[in-house]
Structure 1
Amino acid sequence: MKLALSTLTLISLFLFPSVSLSNQVNLDISDETIHVAFATKPSKKSLNISASFLHHEDDGEVYSIGAFVQSPINNRQDLHGALGGRFYYLDADGPDGYGIGLGGEVGYKIPSVKGLSIHGEAYYAPKVTMFADIERFVDVSVRIKYRILEQGSVYLGYRSQKVHVEHSSSENIDEGAHVGISLQF
């Protein structure tokens, strides 16, 4: 299962940016992590697809493939939202597991500073949707992003990915600040 999911995620990561439907690539790093994410948007008001990979130097890897819908909130061009789900595979230091998390994203373009925006996302996979060693998984992140080029932004963010292991307590896979770039096509 691990090999199949790893292969599928890696193929998705390399195929998404090479097709004309890709619209965003994110790469962020911290002292102990590297995170790569791709998102496609086939057309307005259609299903969007995402794939990501996070490697933590000490605590393992998190693979995800997601599907979501995205649109402005209340027809406001400065506020957008997304709702959807992600299939996660976690190869943590010790516990392993897979499952489905539901959640979404909110983004706000700050009108007083051109190019500045704030984004937050949260996904939750409860015990009923997680399998193997993991009972729950929470994936939360926030970032402040500044568009420096027409097709490129830099950002500073904070991410928390926590697992609750069967017959144990919660463990962090990743928790802390990161810096990154976002490229739009």
Structure 2
Amino acid sequence: MLVRRAGLLVVFMLAACAAFAAQANDLNVNLGSNSASINYAAGLTNTGLQAEFGYLHHTDYVDIGSAGLTVVGNANPVGSPFVFAVGGKLFFVSPKQYNGNGTVLALGGHFNYTWPTYNRFTIGGELYVAPKVVSFNNADRYLQYGVTAGYEILRNAELYVGYRHVSAAFTGTSTVTLDNTFMVGLNLSF
């Protein structure tokens, strides 16, 4: 168990270091009552291609590592307050109460909206879905979604509160909830 967790963390850190020289970077850390998550996003091109790496640890249920590619951009190139990202992520799911690990290729994305008249207030959300056809090893399906509301304490630092839900099905089980938490987080852009 400890070896799997350490392995996921090493993969995340190596990938993050490799992408560090990229154009635009975001580091997102959040804490829930029994979970913690860290996500790193690095801009790879000036046309919006972005690499994303993440790690979610829940004390009772799961460890999840992720790596993906998304395309990020404004909904309307002329100063739209909506920023969207769409793409795919590989999630490496290691449940603590079920035998075996799973790997899923989830499609989805996330968005962030900055209020035009109160330009420090933001709302955001994410959705990633993997049906059985793109779920491997011991995983049968995967769902992750969340919402956030934040305040930019600096132009490159946002403090937020939010809600995250992660569920999956494994061989021989119905859908199980792996994380279902309210969280507080900090997103840094550099």
Can you list the C-alpha shifts for 1:71-124, whole angstroms capped at 9, x where unaligned?
111335201211100011000111420020000112211123221111111011
Query: Alpha carbons of 1:121 and 1:129: their partners in 2 closer, same or farther (altered >3 Å)?
Result: same
Quote how far apart the aligned CAs of 1:170 are: 1.1
Q: Percent identity?
A: 25
Query: Alpha carbons of 1:79 and 1:102: their partners in 2 closer, same or farther (altered >3 Å)?
Result: same
Separation of aligned partners in 2, 1:20 and 1:101:
24
For the pair 1:144 / 2:149, whether they are aligned, the reply is yes
CA RMSD of aligned residues (A): 1.9
For the pair 1:109 / 2:111, whether they are aligned, the reply is no
Separation of aligned partners in 1, 2:155 and 2:76:
26
Separation of aligned partners in 1, 2:6 and 2:135:
18
The equivalent residue for 1:170 is 175
For structure 2, the 5+ residue unaligned runs are none
Mapping of 1:33-182 within 5 angstroms?
33-75=35-77, 76-93=79-96, 94-95=98-99, 96-182=101-187
For structure 1, the 5+ residue unaligned runs are none
Quote how far apart the aligned CAs of 1:167 are: 2.5
Count, aligned residues: 183
Separation of aligned partners in 1, 2:58 and 2:44:
31
- Give 3-state SS (helix, strand or coil) of 2:69's partner: strand
Quote how far apart the aligned CAs of 1:10 are: 3.0
Quote how far apart the aligned CAs of 1:45 are: 1.5
Task: Output the TM-score relative to the length of structure 2.
Answer: 0.89
Query: Alpha carbons of 1:48 and 1:5: their partners in 2 closer, same or farther (altered >3 Å)?
Result: farther
- Give 3-state SS (helix, strand or coil) of 1:103's partner: strand
Structure 1 runs of 4+ with >3 Å offset? 2-5, 13-16
Separation of aligned partners in 2, 1:156 and 1:3:
26
Task: Output the TM-score relative to the length of structure 1.
Answer: 0.91
